[in-house]
Amino acid sequence: KHYSRDYELKKQAFIEKYKGFDENVTRTMFKKAYFSDIARMLSRVFFIAVPFYVAANVKDTVTLKNCIYIGILMIISIALYGYYKKNGTKEITL
């Protein structure tokens, strides 16, 4: 419920800020900007999870299972960061 309210409030503020543009374009740009911010946050969470996973689960030697889990966390982090960089917008320039 909190994210729904947050989404609607930010969407209305974004639409008001860019009133002169086409509504469909501003809504699309808002969705990209909003979800890219969430992707940035999740990218940081997965990146920080790697050393915590290593500290908690890798004892003496690194096993294949540990390497797979670490690799998955890193790939998810990189993919989310890539999404953030591709779709993140500080200001709209149309």
pLDDT by residue (tens digit) across 9-26? Answer: 888 888 888 888 888 888
What pLDDT band is residue 76 in, cutting at 50, 70 and 90? very high
* Residue 94 forms part of a structural domain: no
* Residue 10 forms part of a structural domain: yes
* Residue 93 forms part of a structural domain: no
* Structural contact between residues 11 and 30, judged by C-beta atoms closer than 8 angstroms: yes
Residue 70 belongs to domain spanning: 2-87
* Structural contact between residues 46 and 82, judged by C-beta atoms closer than 8 angstroms: no
* Residue 79 forms part of a structural domain: yes
What pLDDT band is residue 1 in, cutting at 50, 70 and 90? low
The percentage of the chain sitting over the pLDDT mark of 90, rounded to a whole number, equals: 45
Nearest to 87 by CA among 40, 44, 22: 40
Q: How many domains does the chain have?
A: 1
pLDDT by residue (tens digit) across 24-52? Answer: 888 888 888 888 989 999 999 999 999 99
Identity at 57, one-letter amino acid code: N
